[in-house]
Chains A and B, each alone.
Chain A
Amino acid sequence: MAIRLSQINFAYDISKKTNVSLNFTLHDINLEINLKDEMIAFVGHTGSGKSTLVQLLNALLLPTIGKISIEDNDKTFVLEKKLKDKFINDDHYKQTKKYRKFLLKPLKHNIKLKELRKKIGLVFQFPEYQIFEETVLKDIMFGPKNFSLSNEEAKIKAKEIAERMKITDLLDKSPFALSGGQMRKVAIAGILASNPDVLILDEPTVGLDPQTKEELLTFLVDLKNTYHKTIILITHDMDVISKYIERVIVLKKGTIMYDGSKIDLFKNKELIESCNLDYPTIVSIMMHLKEYLNLNDLDVYQYNLDDAMNEIERCLGDNHE
């Protein structure tokens, strides 16, 4: 019941000429993601390979070298292209044209990518790229219909999702008459309607007002808690991470720098600095307080307001005494 990536390498343009250097967007990625009950954030500077990685998970891009396997109760999908063992550390071979030819060869597989995409849904950053039908209802139905549901079933599914996302009042409207936030909700509904196990969202909170953002994220948390789905977000917003996310994966220049809980991440000062990450607002306020008021035993790693207040009170109380 997991997605496993092992030794994934990915490059967009591979030149046949050996004098043009190879530019791998992803290097030796090893990753395991459960198909159930996870809340993950991919973090990293622009160009770190987050979006590429996410597209690999959805098989929109296929790995240049490496193996992706998705194990589920009833079926296992494997996408694999392997370099022969004897060549793995052979630097001389990697200078040759044969190696380039090997890299250029498309990955062969005998699985239907469509079935894989049914398991793993990806919502892109801009909803305009996918909305096209006359009404919101029809647009939400597009996904399920592609995954071979009948018209009636798709309609029922779409209405159910709309109710869950509280957008039933939009169903008969034209999707192009909606506001940005509503459009994004419709886009997410369009993916959710095909009932994927894993929902991946590329920067879902950008450009949303605080209230809509809050709503969307609570909805996602709810989705995970009630329906046991795995949610993966790409985000730059550390406050979102501190509030909603459990597991953080930090990428830098195509390699995974960190994979673990948010608490350990924010304690790792060097990593935060080397990957150009921020602290969540509360943590940075606490850090300033600690510095200006010389509160040496203040625990700065607090992730909600109440805890932070309590911690400050505790610390100040100690000092006053």
Chain B
Amino acid sequence: MNNKMVFGQYVEGNSWIHRLDASTKIIVLFFMMISLFIVSNLYFLLGILCFIWLIVLTTKLPLNQFLKSFRAMATLLCFTLIFQILFNTTGEIIHIGKFTFSFTFDLTILSLIIGIITLLLYIILGKWIHKYRFITFIILVLLIFYLQTIIHITPIIVTYNISFHMNAFYSASRVFLRILSLLSLSALLTFTTKPIDLNNGIETIFHPLKFLRKYVSIFGMMMSIALRFIPTLFNESQKILKAQASRGADFQEGSIKQKIGQIISLLIPMFVISYKRAEDLANAMEARGYIPGDERTKLHITKFRITDICSYIFLVLFFTFVILSKVLWGL
């Protein structure tokens, strides 16, 4: 039905990163990632992030799409930051002038009741707030905490203290920078490399493992077939969904219990069709002379360009610099 559905995030382009050999990209990416964990200096990390984003800019990728790819990880990132900030209690407390970031809260019966009522109201009324749901939620949470600082009526359940420390701030930003850099790097790879090329790249990297080579090429073939068939199988699943819906299987209107029962009616045809396809494909491949593990010529022979060599030279220099700076100056 939907022909647009393509697996992966590849964006058509012709920048120098696009033209780099996939194996070069993978190797450089791998060592860059390692170096991200060796470096612990904040400014150095920031520099690396800026450098990565500079490279992203040279590829002329659509930036909004690039930023969108972080969305999936945004919640994880937020949680890590919140935990880092709340639970790291070493170093001095942050203060701006006389104002110190240290708060004492009293959880009283009254504020507890107010909190529960607000939560219930939010759950019930939340259906009508579509646009600003998340923001309302945050405001409500902050309000509840604020109430705890001002209400001090006697039946106090527990008194607790939250303070923000300097080290927490440092470690949180370190984690933030690292994760952001990692995401940018992997996004850079997947945005500029087709899944098939990626697969070829992995195959090239494992090429030196001669004694395993047969398995490497088989594995590569398996990977590329699997990637190729994801959209196809997705289409098939849509067809099955429709066929069962016309028999009254209710995937949209029914209760959850019904839905779970009806998933079987989706899964079994899916398996049957996949097996059938796999068998047909195997026969078709054999009919065209494919022998697993045998020597095959490649359709796209990867050329080693000057940019590849430059990338490797840069990588060696960069990595030695990272290690030297760690050993000599402890950055």
Nearest CB in chain A: distance from B235 CB, A:
11
Contact A191 B272 (CB under 8 A): no
Chain A min CB distance to B237 (Å):
10
Please tell me which one of the listed residues A13, A113, A126, A146 contacts residue B247 in the complex, with CB atoms under 8 A apart. A146
B276, CB-defined interface residue at 8 Å: yes
Question: With a CB–CB cut-off of 8 A, which chain A residues contact B252?
Answer: 113
B154 an interface residue at 8 Å Cβ cutoff?
no
B253 touches A112 (CB 8 A): yes
Per-residue contact bits, chain A 251-295, to B (CB 8 Å; 1 contact, 0 not):
000000000000000000000000000000000000000000000
Q: Say whether, besides A13-B4, A124-B242, A129 and B273 are in contact (CB < 8 Å).
A: yes
Instruction: Answer whether A143 and B248 are a contact pair too, CB < 8 Å, given A12-B1, A12-B2, A113-B253.
Output: yes
Instruction: Report chain A residues within 8 Å CB of B244.
Output: 130
Contact with A along B228-247 (1 / 0, CB 8 A): 00000000100110111111
Whether A121 and B250, one on each chain, are in contact in the complex, defined by CB atoms closer than 8 angstroms, is no
Contact among A132, A147, A176 with B265 in the assembled complex (CB-CB below 8 Å): A132
Whether A121 touches B246, Cβ cut-off 8 Å, given contacts A129-B239, A132-B264, A132-B268, is: yes
Contact check, B242 vs A117: say whether CB atoms are below 8 A apart.
no
Judge whether A55 is part of the interface by a CB distance below 8 angstroms. yes
Distance of A124 Cα from B269 Cα, bound (Å): 14
Is there a chain A Cβ closer than 8 Å to B249's Cβ?
A: yes
Total interface residues on B, CB under 8 Å, equals 26
A142 at the interface (CB under 8 A from B): yes
Contact A124 B253 (CB under 8 A): no
Q: Which A residue sits closest to B250, measured CB to CB?
A: A114
Q: Are A124 and B2 closer than 8 Å at their CB atoms?
A: no
B248 and A124 contacting across the interface, CB-CB below 8 Å: no
Q: Knowing that A117-B245, A118-B248, A142-B265 are A-B contacts, what are 5 other residue pairs whose CB atoms are under 8 Å apart, sorted by A's residue number?
A: A122-B246, A124-B243, A128-B276, A132-B268, A191-B246
Q: Which residues of A contact B268 (CB under 8 A)?
A: 132
Q: Name the B residues within 8 Å of A2 (CB-CB).
A: none
Which A residue sits closest to B254, measured CB to CB?
A: A114
B246 touches A58 (CB 8 A): yes
Q: Which of A109-152 contact B (CB under 8 A)?
A: 112-114, 117-118, 121-124, 126, 128-132, 142-143, 146-147
The residue of chain A having its C-beta at the shortest distance from the C-beta of B276 within the complex is A128
Q: Which 3 A-B pairs have the closest CB atoms?
A: A146-B248, A132-B268, A130-B243
In the bound complex, residues from chain A placing their C-beta under 8 Å from that of B273 are 128-129
Provide the bound-state CA to CA distance between A128 and B236, in Å. 11
Which residue numbers of B lie inside 8 Å of A, CB to CB?
A: 1-2, 4, 236, 239-240, 242-250, 252-253, 262, 264-265, 267-269, 272-273, 276
Measured CB to CB, the closest approach of chain A to B2, in angstroms, equals 7
> How close is B65's CB to chain A, nearest CB, in angstroms?
14
List, sorted by A's number, 13 A–B pairs whose CB atoms are closer than 8 Å: A13-B2, A60-B245, A117-B245, A117-B246, A121-B247, A124-B242, A124-B243, A129-B273, A130-B247, A132-B265, A143-B247, A146-B250, A194-B247
Residues of A within 8 A of B262 (CB): 146
A117 to B246, CA, bound (A): 6
Q: How far is the CB of B299 from chain A (nearest CB, A)?
A: 30
Chain A residues in 8 Å Cβ range of B249: 142, 146
In the complex, whether A63 has a CB less than 8 A from a CB of chain B is no
Which of the listed residues A118, A128, A146 has the most CB atoms from chain B within 10 Å of its own CB? A146
Nearest chain A CB to B6 CB, angstrom units: 13
Q: Does A44 have its Cβ within 8 Å of any Cβ on chain B?
A: no
CA distance A129 to B253 in the complex (A): 21
Q: Given known contacts A124-B239, A124-B242, A130-B269, is B253 in contact with A191 (CB within 8 Å)? A: no
In the complex, the answer to whether B4 meets A60 with C-beta atoms within 8 Å is no
Name the CB-closest residue of B to A194: B248
Q: Could you say which residues of chain B place their CB within 8 Å of the CB of A176? A: 272
| CB-based nearest B residue for A145 | B248
Contacting pair A132 B253 (CB below 8 A): no
The one of A13, A112, A129, A146 that contacts B243, using a Cβ cutoff of 8 Å: A129
Question: When the two chains form their complex, are residues B239 and A117 in contact, meaning their CB atoms are under 8 A apart?
Answer: no
Known pairs A128-B269, A128-B273, A129-B239; A142 contacts B247 (CB<8 A): yes
Complex Cα–Cα for A131 and B271 (A): 11
> Is A66 in contact with chain B by the CB < 8 A criterion?
no
- Contact between B250 and A130, CB atoms less than 8 A apart: no
B248 touches A117 (CB 8 A): yes
Contacts of B272 in A (CB 8 A): 128, 131-132, 176
Q: Does A49 contact B (CB under 8 A)?
A: no
